[in-house]
Amino acid sequence: MRSVDAKEILEISKKHFNEGNYASAEALLGQVLISNLRSPDAYYMLGTINYDKGRFNKSVEYYKKALEIDPGFTDASVGLSILLNDLGRYDEGREVFQKAREHLEQRSAELDPYIEEKFAQKHEELGSLYVQCKRHKEAIEQFMKAIEFTSQRKPEIAMKVVECLVALGSQRKALKELKFITREFPHYLPARIYLGKLFYNLSRISEAMEQWSGVLLRDPENVEAQRYTRIAQSSNLEPSL
């Protein structure tokens, strides 16, 4: 097969892949592999197809091959890292992603915003996996890295740090983090609601009411703030965190 033929087939396989027609894409990609064309895209697509079909060992093999050809192939590193985490190989998954990030940082002093958001997303995914395994300290580490990279979801990810701190019994640190979020992102109401719940459970009722009142000033129809305000006014029940 001539190289130009392989490139044409690769482009057709990409079209099938992007349309979700994995069976046709896989058949075409098999033809690409027997050519002399070294394409990280081909191995990445095969990695994704095999992951979708539950052939995890084969998927790992293809993702690694893509990264051998292009160590800075972000999609392949993300796919491999997620797969390794799915298989319980957390340290390997984190190492794969860290290597990809270092490679890109060497290539460019300032990362493209799109790439930065991808890094943020990956760190957030790793953090969530650690939470599922009740490894909250490692989760906090990943969430904090995600916050460094994202320009779009800082308060949302910071709230995940708060939840980890609460799970670890570090209420003082959780309060400090929540106060920071409410100061830096005053219109992010979930942080104020959560801060009120922490104050309430510490019997700091007036401070809790202050937070929920602040929410209702900004959003008078906020159901959560209304409910917690009624609880604080009429009973000794504690809101559930």
25 contacts 17 by C-beta, under 8 angstroms: yes
pLDDT, position 223: 94
pLDDT, position 3: 43
pLDDT, position 109: 46
84 contacts 76 by C-beta, under 8 angstroms: no
How far apart (Å, rounded) are the C-alpha atoms in residues 197 and 190?
Answer: 11
Handedness of CA 51, 55, 57, 59 (dihedral sign): negative
The domain limits of the chain are 186-241
81 contacts 93 by C-beta, under 8 angstroms: yes
User: DSSP per residue over 181-200, as a string?
Assistant: HHHH-TT-HHHHHHHHHHHH
132: exposed, middle or buried (Cβ count in 10 Å: 0-12, 13-18, 19+): exposed
C-alpha distances out from residue 110 to 71, 115, 123, 199, Å: 18, 10, 18, 41
C-alpha distances out from residue 189 to 159, 193, 195, 199, 233, Å: 11, 6, 10, 15, 21
How far apart (Å, rounded) are the C-alpha atoms in residues 42 and 164?
Answer: 39
pLDDT, position 197: 93
Segment holding 130, helix H or strand E? helix 113-132
C-alpha distances out from residue 46 to 34, 100, 119, 176, Å: 14, 20, 23, 46
Report the SS3 class of residue 1: coil
Handedness of CA 188, 190, 196, 201 (dihedral sign): negative
Structure tokens at 54: 């539950």
The model carries a pTM of 0.56
pLDDT, position 241: 55
Number of neighbouring beta carbons within 10 Å of residue 237: 10
pLDDT, position 195: 94
Query: What does the pLDDT profile of the chain (241 residues) look like in tens digits?
Result: 444 478 888 889 988 888 888 899 999 998 888 887 888 999 999 999 998 888 999 999 999 999 999 887 877 887 888 888 878 888 887 888 777 767 666 655 455 677 778 888 888 988 998 999 899 999 999 999 899 889 889 999 999 999 999 999 998 999 999 999 998 888 899 999 999 999 998 888 889 998 999 899 889 999 999 999 998 887 554 455 5
pLDDT, position 87: 83
